[in-house]
Amino acid sequence: MSTTSVTRTKPSGRKSYHHGDLQVALTDAAIELVRKTGPDHLSLRAVAEQVGVSPSAVYHYFPDKDSLISGVGKKLFVDLADMQREALGKIPGNSAKAAKLRYRELGRTYFRWADKEPNLFRLMFGGFCKVDLQGHHTNDEAFLMLTRCLDDLLATGVIAPSMRKYGELISWSAVQGASTLIVEGHLPAEAFEVLLDGLEQAMKAGNK
């Protein structure tokens, strides 16, 4: 009786991706790694291992760690804007009350996201991603939503015309600062609503 020799090939463990899909998979894997272990431990090699590809495949899309972080940051800013847009869509109307509710909800959504995803928040605003308030956000949807909310507050007489030009800087700095302090355990979560009350009062300065 003859025997037939069969050679078995050991699986390589590498996955096949269509053009463009790998970049998405790498970005998603990086986000998951940051979510679990924080931004300090993110590396190209760790992302490659997570996805199941060689490090050289990662370099094709992200030549260094900074470019990977930039890609992840862009995705996170889009995700945050999507959440804020959905929240604002639930508050229709052109009244002063509606304008105030949208302004507060924009800030609340920002904080809720930071509180839910502290490690991703740290990646975006902890010195890993470069953020330029003086021009980088002219086409950023989240920043444009803030601008529209402030314009609505001005149009409905909620905020003083003299304060409008400071609106973006004051609002974002205050919301960002309070979110960071709460996420890092320096303030209780309920302080955020107090911050929103104070912001509203500050923006009214100059109104008679």
Give the model confidence (pLDDT) of 188-207 as tens digits.
999 999 999 999 999 887 67
34 pLDDT tier (thresholds 50, 70, 90): very high
d(CA 193, CA 129): 27
Strands (DSSP E) contained in the chain are: none
Give counts: helices (H), strands (E), the chain: 9, 0
| Reported pTM | 0.81
Report residue 126's pLDDT band, with 50, 70 and 90 as the boundaries.
confident
Residue 12 in 3-state DSSP?
Answer: coil
Composition of the chain by helix, strand, coil, percent to 5 = 70, 0, 30
Q: For residues 142 and 81, is the Cβ–Cβ distance under 8 A? A: yes
Distance linking the first and last C-alpha atoms of the chain: 105
pLDDT above 80 (res 63) = yes
Q: By CB neighbour count within 10 A (0-12 exposed, 13-18 middle, 19+ buried), where does 159 fall? A: buried
